[in-house]
Amino acid sequence: MGDIITFKRPDGKDCSGYYARPAAGDKGPGLVVIQEWWGLNDQIKGVANRLADLGYRALVPDLYRGKVTVEAAEANHLMSSLNFGDAAPQDIRGAVQHLKKMSSKVGVVGYCMGGALTVLSAVFVKELDGACSWYGFPPADAADVKTISIPLQMHFAEQDGFFTPDQARALEGRLKDGKVKYESFWYNANHGFGNETNLIGTYNAEATKLAWQRTTEFFAKHLK
């Protein structure tokens, strides 16, 4: 269903990504999909394919430049080596700009590490029209979230040991202070509950179904 394509970053460098084309072809709203710390694997490609089935032009930028892993230790190393200050304003913004050539509206959705990058993109990528983060957000000092001007949806796990509930509630407080147009949903689940390949054993089908429904309703409202 999808193809590996190359697009330009704002700085002129090339970045590759997985592009899932909807049945209507290169038409419809765009969605940039941001990987978990595992890399551009079949699971995240599957998310893009599902979004394409809903009529979106879905693009997953390859933030790790071809590296993929199923080992948590290696995933942590790859994530730790990633330049977040480059990924959001360059790789992700480049993907957004690429989709904007054909799509009047473009959103971003990310999971885990990609959820953190989604929030950063909501701050720094001014071409975006909506953002949705699943169980991930950046450190408080990484960006001023009070400046977000687009609709933002977030999904939090009450048993999350990576992005803790206390940190998530502090984020909600900063968003409220900035009068950001956001909504957040909490699930009785663990971190990574939306990954059906169960790489860390925390998949929760019920929470995933509800979060996916809310995500697709959010983007239908703000992008279509």
**pLDDT digit string, tens, across residues 25-84:** 999 999 999 999 999 999 999 999 999 999 999 999 999 999 999 999 999 999 999 999
User: Nearest-CA neighbor of 155 among 196, 115, 121, 124?
Assistant: 115
10 Å CB burial of residue 88 (0-12, 13-18, 19+) is buried
User: What's the pLDDT tens digit per position in 67-87?
Assistant: 999 999 999 999 999 999 999
**Rounded distance, CA 81 to CA 160, Å?**
23
User: What's the pLDDT tens digit per position in 92-146?
Assistant: 999 999 999 999 999 999 999 999 999 999 999 999 999 999 999 999 999 999 9
Q: Which helix (H) or strand (E) holds 59?
A: strand 57-61
Question: What pLDDT shows up at residue 20?
Answer: 98
Question: What pLDDT shows up at residue 192?
Answer: 95
Question: What pLDDT shows up at residue 68?
Answer: 97
Residue 76 CA neighbour count, 13 Å, CB half: 5
Assign residue 103 a region (left: φ > 0; alpha: ψ between -120 and 50; beta: otherwise).
Answer: beta
10 Å CB burial of residue 201 (0-12, 13-18, 19+) is exposed
Q: Are 175 and 148 in contact (CB under 8 A)?
A: yes
Question: What pLDDT shows up at residue 177?
Answer: 98
Give yes or no for residue 198 having a pLDDT over 80.
no
Q: Residue 197 to residues 9, 203, 218: CA-CA distances in angstroms?
A: 31, 8, 25
Q: Residue 111 to residues 11, 86, 114, 129, 187: CA-CA distances in angstroms?
A: 26, 18, 5, 18, 15
User: What's the pLDDT tens digit per position in 143-158?
Assistant: 999 999 999 999 999 9
Q: Are 118 and 31 in contact (CB under 8 A)?
A: no
Please state the rounded mean pLDDT for residues 171-182: 98
3-state secondary structure of 71: coil
Give yes or no for residue 200 having a pLDDT over 80.
no
Joined tokens for residue 20: 């899932």
Q: Are 16 and 100 in contact (CB under 8 A)?
A: no
Question: What pLDDT shows up at residue 1?
Answer: 74
